[in-house]
Structure 1
Amino acid sequence: MQDKVTFEYAIIRFMPKVEREEFFNIGVIVFSKRKRFLNLKYHVDPKKLAAFSCEITLEEVTKYLKAWEAICKGTPHGGAIGEFEVSDRFRWLAASKSTMILCSPTHAGLTDDPQQELEAIFEEYVL
């Protein structure tokens, strides 16, 4: 138990019409301050996407998610937000938004391997 550290995660959702509150899960973002870990994993099912919106393409959604990936990694493609501290980048990504890609409320837990948690949560809530 002493090797475990706290982590937080949020489920990434696709919600094409925020006012309708209909969504499906497309990814997971995991953050651990003590491990200086911030990463996400996503998969957008093309059939679900087409069922939810005929106006939004897989390429558009992927473009947004790649920007989120750049923010997680802190690369120049993440823009000014990519330069924030790791914790601030997570808070920005997980903040409440009125866009087609948004996050669930955050949840917390204990882990000794944040990457393993990311994989497990992704398997359970996205696939």
Structure 2
Amino acid sequence: MMLLAGLAAAMEPIRFTDAAEEARFRALAAELRCVMCQNQSLADSNAQIAHDLRLQVLGLMREGRTDAQIKEYLVARYSDFVLYNPPVRPATWLLWFGPGLLLVGGAVVVAVVVRRRAAGAPASSPSEDSQEW
């Protein structure tokens, strides 16, 4: 029973000092990814670690850090994965260009298969087509 009360207290809503702080926090939390959920933003996740990170982000904001400094801090701890839009650099090339390369590779494979089948198919004459009826 005490564990349940402890969890409920740990997940209580965040209190903001003003509307500007809330707007900045919400914008920043939407740009950050939950490190546990993987495909949810920090703002959308219900995981305990996401709640902890939201509190940490708010704490860093109240220390006077800029959004860029907060992102740098989180990237240093969790890598570029924590950002929904990671920077383009050699370590993230596969993330940025991988889907396009897969699409181009698939198109090349389809084109090769279609050409091979077209080249290997016997040409039929019009008289042969009419006799099949």
Settle same-fold status: TM greater than 0.5. no
Select the structure that is richer in strand. Answer: 1
Structure number with the bigger relative contact order (C-alpha 8 A, sep ≥ 6) is 1
Select the structure that is richer in helix. Answer: 2
Larger radius of gyration: 2
Give the TM-score of the pair, scaled to structure 1. Answer: 0.31
